[in-house]
């Protein structure tokens, strides 16, 4: 998402109900996205949280300290006008979901993957009506057409704000099934993140901690949990 440069000019941020949702106001002036669209979000809870981000700014606005604003901007400026393209990009993960590609060995890793991933594939088969085939190694294995259609339909039924969160959840975890499991609250988010990192955790246990890789993983985890928070606020009805 493109960044913007802005100096603080307002005394207080507030919110107000408007057509299509809730808008964020800076001293009664509506906030706009970088593409100049009105910053209107679907829930009061998300609007309030975004207003808190704006109120926390000092003299110069720091977009990196405003993750909810950035995600809302992305939903409006990026996902909404390219909805079909984003849906297709996310749905493609169903054809190569990491949960379906298993190690050929050692036995301890095979067992760990099975314990973490088999229940999620069972849920995909029963809860999403999308049974997926497993394989060993990294060679691509085609998935049932009906399953891919079911997964695509599930993603397409989401709103642009929900799709924005799912895009990050899937990209960071490498799994459409894990992303959808977050949305359906199949397991706690932290547990789903842990299950997405089975292979990386195994490698770390075998070869030791790599500081650069550990720092990168921490950033990905933070981004994953931000997407979890964003979807939660989007869906809040109070």
Q: Are 2 and 36 in contact (CB under 8 A)?
A: no
What is the structure's pLDDT at 2?
46
In order along its 238 residues, the chain shows pLDDT tens digits of 444 567 888 999 999 999 999 999 999 899 999 999 999 999 999 999 999 999 999 888 888 999 999 999 999 999 999 999 999 999 999 999 999 999 999 999 999 999 999 999 999 999 999 999 999 988 889 999 999 999 999 999 999 999 999 999 999 999 999 999 999 999 999 999 999 999 999 998 888 888 888 899 999 999 999 999 999 999 998 6
Q: Are 22 and 30 in contact (CB under 8 A)?
A: no
The architecture (CATH level 2) of 13-72 comes to 2-Layer Sandwich (3.30)
3-state secondary structure of 37: coil
Q: Are 194 and 217 in contact (CB under 8 A)?
A: no
pTM of the predicted model as reported, rounded to 2 decimal places: 0.93
CA–CA separation, 120 and 115 (whole Å): 10
Nearest Cα residue to 178 out of 156, 208, 198: 198
Q: Are 68 and 50 in contact (CB under 8 A)?
A: yes
Six-digit token string for 151? 């997964």
- Placement of tokens 């002036």 in the chain: 29
CA–CA separation, 215 and 232 (whole Å): 26
Q: Which burial class, exposed, middle or buried, applies to 227 when counting CB atoms under 10 A from its CB (0-12, 13-18, 19+)?
A: buried
Ranges of each domain in the chain: 13-72, 82-235
Neighbours of 172 (CB within 10 A): 21
CA–CA separation, 79 and 88 (whole Å): 12
CA–centroid distance for 227 within its chain: 4
The architecture (CATH level 2) of 82-235 comes to Orthogonal Bundle (1.10)
């Amino acid at each position: 998402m493109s960044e913007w440069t802005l100096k603080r000019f307002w005394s207080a941020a507030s919110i107000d109900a408007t057509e299509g949702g809730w808008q964020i106001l800076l001293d009664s002036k509506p906030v706009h996205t970088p593409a100049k669209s009105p910053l209107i979000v679907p829930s009061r809870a998300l609007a309030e949280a975004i207003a808190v981000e704006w109120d926390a700014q000092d003299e110069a606005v720091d977009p990196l300290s405003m993750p909810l604003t950035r995600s809302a901007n992305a939903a409006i400026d990026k996902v909404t006008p390219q909805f079909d393209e984003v849906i297709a990009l996310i749905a493609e993960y169903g054809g190569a979901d990491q949960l379906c590609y298993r190690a050929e060995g050692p036995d301890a890793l095979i067992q760990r993957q099975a314990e973490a991933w088999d229940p999620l594939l069972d849920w995909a088969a029963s809860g999403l009506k999308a049974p997926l085939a497993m394989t060993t190694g990294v060679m691509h294995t085609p998935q049932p057409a009906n399953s891919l259609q079911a997964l695509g339909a599930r993603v397409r039924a989401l709103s642009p704000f929900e799709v924005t969160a799912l895009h990050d959840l899937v990209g960071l975890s490498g799994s459409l099934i894990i992303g959808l499991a977050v949305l359906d609250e199949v397991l706690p988010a932290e547990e789903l993140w842990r299950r997405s990192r089975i292979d990386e955790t195994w490698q770390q246990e075998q070869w030791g901690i790599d500081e650069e890789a550990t720092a990168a993983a921490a950033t990905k985890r933070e981004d994953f949990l931000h997407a979890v928070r964003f979807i939660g606020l989007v869906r809040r009805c109070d």
